[in-house]
């Protein structure tokens, strides 16, 4: 009987640990894409777009505490099986921001000219990854 109680106590402990790790998995910034940011917010959220300009969105539960950031595109090379640097755009944001959208401006075209799979990163001022996501670009 004592072994049964110990087993259930151990199983309960493992269950609580597993639930705790699932809860923390949602505690990171989320990066996703839309066609543009309009008056009513995001327009055309997806992970598959035709070539052209996109808006990159970052959403988080708490302030990101960032000043100078970059959005970097890496393109998947089917011949080598690796992602390769494609382009990078610099932006300045406010440290208290929890929701940021990055779109085409005079310094950053945010364009995907070629079809393919891209890994997109939000990088801090030391080029550390804050968030990332994959997007497919088609003709």
Reference 76, options 139, 138, 134; nearest CA is: 134
On whether the CB atoms of residues 61 and 27 are closer than 8 A, the answer is yes
What is the residue whose two structure tokens read 């259930």?
8
Burial 62-79 (b: 16+ CB within 10 A, else e): eebebeebbbbbbbbeee
Q: Specify whether the CB–CB gap between 115 and 137 falls below 8 A.
A: yes
Coil, helix or strand for 25? helix
The DSSP output letter for 46 is B
Domains and CATH numbers, the chain: 28-138 (2.60.40.1930)
What pTM was estimated for this model as a whole? Answer: 0.78
pLDDT, one tens digit per residue, over 87-118 is 999 999 999 999 999 999 988 889 999 999 99
Q: Say whether pLDDT at 19 is over 60.
A: no
What pLDDT sits at residue 107? 86
Predicted pLDDT at 15? 52
Looking at residue 33, its pLDDT comes to: 98
Query: pLDDT, tens digit, for every residue of 53-82?
Result: 999 999 999 999 999 999 999 999 999 999
């Amino acid at each position: 009987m004592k072994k049964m109680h110990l087993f259930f106590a151990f199983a309960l402990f493992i269950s609580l640990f597993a639930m705790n790790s699932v809860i923390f998995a949602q505690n990171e910034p989320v990066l996703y894409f839309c066609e543009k940011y309009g008056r009513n917010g995001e327009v055309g959220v997806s992970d598959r777009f035709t070539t052209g300009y996109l808006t990159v969105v970052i959403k988080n539960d708490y302030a990101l505490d960032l000043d100078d950031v970059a959005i970097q595109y890496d393109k998947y090379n089917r011949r080598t099986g690796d992602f390769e640097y494609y382009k990078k755009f610099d932006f300045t944001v406010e440290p208290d921001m929890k929701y940021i959208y990055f779109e085409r401006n005079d310094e950053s075209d945010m364009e995907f000219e070629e079809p393919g799979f891209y890994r997109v990163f939000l990088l801090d001022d030391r080029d550390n990854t804050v968030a990332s996501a994959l997007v497919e670009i088609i003709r």
